[in-house]
A and B are shown apart, each in its own frame.
Chain A
Amino acid sequence: MDFQTLLILAQDAVTNSAIYALLALSLILVFGVTRVIFVAQGEFVSYGALTLASLQMGVMPGTVWLLLMLAGIAAVMETFRLLTSGAGQELPRSLATVLVPPLVIAGLVKVCTPLHLPLGWQVLLTMLIVMPMGPLLYRVAFRPLADATVLVLLIAAVAVHFVLVGLGLLFFGAEGVRTPPFSDAQFQFGFLSVSGQSLWVYVASSVFIALLAWFFNKTLYGKALRAVAFNRNGARLVGISPHLAGTFSFALASAIGCLSGVLIGPVTTLYYDSGFLIGLKGFVGAIVGGMASYPLAAFGALIVGFSESFSSFWLSGYKDVVVFTMIIPVLLWRSLSTVHYEEEE
């Protein structure tokens, strides 16, 4: 392998790692806060890219219908819950929070789709469509199971994954899409030639990770989410609602997934079911971080990105095998080296 190839592979690795790191972070967050191993996270990646592609073609994306459907189900569930618990007076407010934003977004999309807005606005619309799905999915599929075991929650997550993939096929068909790049520029740094889109991926994901770090370390809402992940009972005793925290963490998950899809849409062809594998690679990164440490997970994502990129050069047919086999030594090493701390006192 010559130096040039090495650089290209490394560049590829870093691009992918950035995305895997984002996904790993949100998997860890969702797991910490809700104990859900959210295997359906990757579906937001495909939804993001495919929704943007539909908007580009001036077609109303099918995800809008999913959004409305989820809002409808959530509204029915919320009505049922409030009426049976004798809190009927909260119903109007609760229904408004569940129904109004999706309806407004759907209306906005209907108006904007034929206008062929500039790319930036279409990305914003895409985020508006996909991001609310996280909290709604939490409301519909996971909140009713809040006290269930991790295994039951995982089974629910797998079910959600299959439903979302099926709906993806229904909405977008089996065709793959490649969205137009944010920038056509090529930058030359010495030997290294970097595409404008790769640069977008680095910058956007770095900015997003920095924002997350700021959010979790400096804002009280961020600290509250961490507090729930560390100690659920303690968090309730200071008045942090686990449902509120769950809603927040799922909102971040869908936002991160969608952003990742939008960012890699121009560099990879994405199909309705591509998200799963991408999400799973983020998951490998998260496992390296023990599902708890954000910096370790980011490091894990780098390992995943590099081994994927270099194995695609030497053993292209086996690159996924190589990546997923990596879990085994990592798990072995972690199970041998991890000190098992007692729960809170």
Chain B
Amino acid sequence: MSERLLTVNDLNVRYGKVEALYGASLSVDRGTIVSVIGPNGAGKSTLLNAVMGVLPSRGIIEFCGNNMGNVSIERRVAQGLCLVPETRELFSQMSVEDNLELGAFTRYRRGDKGIRATLDSVFKLFPRLEQRRSQMAGSLSGGERQMLALGRALMCQPTLLMLDEPSLGLAPLIVKEILNNISSLRSTGVSILLIEQNARAALQISDYGYVLENGEIALEGPSRELANNPRVIESYLGIGGVEAKIEC
């Protein structure tokens, strides 16, 4: 039985009067990739933002056994929780390298000596970032921005990495590359909570999956089973969807 990393229990989030998430519960075990799929507007981003503390929420969020109720975003980052939001939030007027270095800010404050090594490993994972290291982040292409957002998050050596639609707006070929990168992260020991529109690919690279509809968890199960569930096939796997070739 593997160790529980994140437990979300009965989470409610509202925007003013509009309830965007009700009674959502999910969990992520250490060393696994968990995906959340669902249609546009289901509340997927809301879920991640609430777990990160960007949005206020009611309910229980437990990370590494600690209640995150009153914990600020910065502290969550320092404890190893890291979010790549849908909007990426890069520092576009700063260089690629500065963006990456800033990703390791909390480690730097702790006096961590391994930051250089992490930078090298991020460059190894995304050689294109190394070529563009002194270019402004704002001048990168969509795919490169996504790599930079991922790389910046990896720089803080998260225990749990939360990715909000990493393939959003990317060309199919680049989607494949990014998803391959994500599934290769598994070997580094990081756990991932992945949100994807691209349900087929998400279920292929994840161990466990949830289906979020209208702010509620409608279905859950091991990814392989979900991928064979008639309802999932009909709603999410029917047409389109990029086949992700997993190379590891």
Contact = CB atoms under 8 A, between A and B. Distances in A.
Interface of A: 85-87, 220, 223-224, 226-227, 230-231, 233-241, 344-345
B105 A226 contact: no
Interface stretch (B1-9, B89-97, B121-129, B222-230): B89-97
A237 B93 contact: no
A223 B95 CA distance: 11
B105 A224 contact: yes
Top 5 closest A-B pairs, CB basis? A234-B89, A239-B77, A239-B106, A241-B74, A236-B73
B89 A344 contact: yes
Counting chain A CB atoms within 10 Å of each CB, the highest count among B52, B88, B105 belongs to B105
Given A220-B102, A238-B103, A240-B102, A86 B70 contact: yes
Given A220-B108, A223-B94, A345-B88, A238 B72 contact: no
Contacts of A236: 54, 73-74, 77
A309 B176 CA distance: 64
Interface string B42-85: 00000000001010000000000000001011100110001101
Contacts of B98: 223, 227
A238 B94 contact: no
Interface of B: 52, 54, 70, 72-74, 77-78, 82-83, 85, 87-94, 98, 101-103, 105-106, 108-109, 152, 156
B90 A344 contact: yes
A237 B77 contact: yes
Contacts of B72: 241
Contacts of A237: 52, 54, 73, 77, 82-83, 85, 89
Contacts of A239: 73-74, 77-78, 105-106, 109, 156
A171 to B, nearest CB: 37
Given A223-B94, A230-B94, A344-B87, A238 B70 contact: no
A87 B152 contact: no
A231 B89 contact: yes
Nearest to B76: A239
A31 to B, nearest CB: 16
Contacts of B89: 231, 233-234, 237, 344
Contact of A238 (B54, B88, B105): B105
B78 A227 contact: no
